[in-house]
Amino acid sequence: MTAQLIDGNALARQIRADVSGRTAALKARGIQPTLAIVLVGDDPASQVYVKHKVNDSSETGLVANLERHPVEMAEADLLARIHALNEDPAVHGILVQLPLPRHMDSHKVIEAISPAKDVDGFHVASAGALMVGQPGFWPCTPHGCMKMLESIGYSLRGKHAVVIGRSNIVGKPMAMMLLAQNATVTICHSATADLGAMTRQADVIVAAVGKANLLTADMVKPGAVVIDVGMNRTAEGKLCGDVDFAGVKEVAGWITPVPGGVGPMTRAMLLVNTLEAAERSAA
């Protein structure tokens, strides 16, 4: 068998088209959905990520204001800037690009963002609200993964999902989302003893560790859905995920590529969250 591809680029285009329509409706009412992106320092990967986010926003009619601050910026100054953005009614979403410089406490900075503008979905209040069924924002990467499963009409009820990666950004929110769809969920990590014994039982595998070729064909149950969240570089500098794509695609039923899979979906869900923040403020 050769796995069917879950094309993140194509799905993201559909989502951006929907965002464009909803954005136009808000603008017709005099409301301009606006995202503030705060970048501190000159991390090369972050520079690329924010460029894509600004371009995606422009395509849909959203306004993305990119603020660049020097790596020497004091944490107190960043917190003051976030407070000002919280108080600005023209700003609907705030994204602080990670990683931050070492002298800053990322958790403290993220928690300073108003939950109503936390379009990255990292604030503890967002997770708490969603757990009890209140409006909040899911983190963009796991939200994008769920949209990919939805796009192929995959029912998670009664299925066993294995999430490899325990981070608060992907692993834990991903597990919560899968549980909400009545799946049985096992969370593992790269050092889990006999990881293959776990993954071979799974109907769905989400690999989100950041280790190239972590998941190989012999670790996958035939017909399983494999979602690759990993972002790594080969020795030649080529982008790759956590999954041995060439091998696993001959076993899995569905698989996401890297690049062109979860990455564009993560950015698409940021647009959705920003738009929803604007819609809620206008309600």
Catalytic residue annotation: 53, 97, 120
How far is it, in rounded angstroms, from Cα 173 to Cα 143?
A: 9
What residues contact 259, with CB distance under 8 A and at least 6 apart? 239
Which of 74, 94, 73, 77 minimizes the C-alpha distance to 85?
Answer: 94
C-alpha 125 chain-centroid distance: 17
Query: 280 burial class (0-12, 13-18, 19+ CB within 10 angstroms)?
Result: exposed
Token reading at 265: 């979906």
Q: What is the 3-state secondary structure (H, E, C) of 4-53?
A: EECCHHHHHHHHHHHHHHHHHHHHHCCCCCEEEEEEECCCHHHHHHHHHH
Contact 224, 203 (CB under 8 A): yes
Token reading at 216: 């190989």
In the chain the first and final C-alpha atoms are separated, in Å, by 49
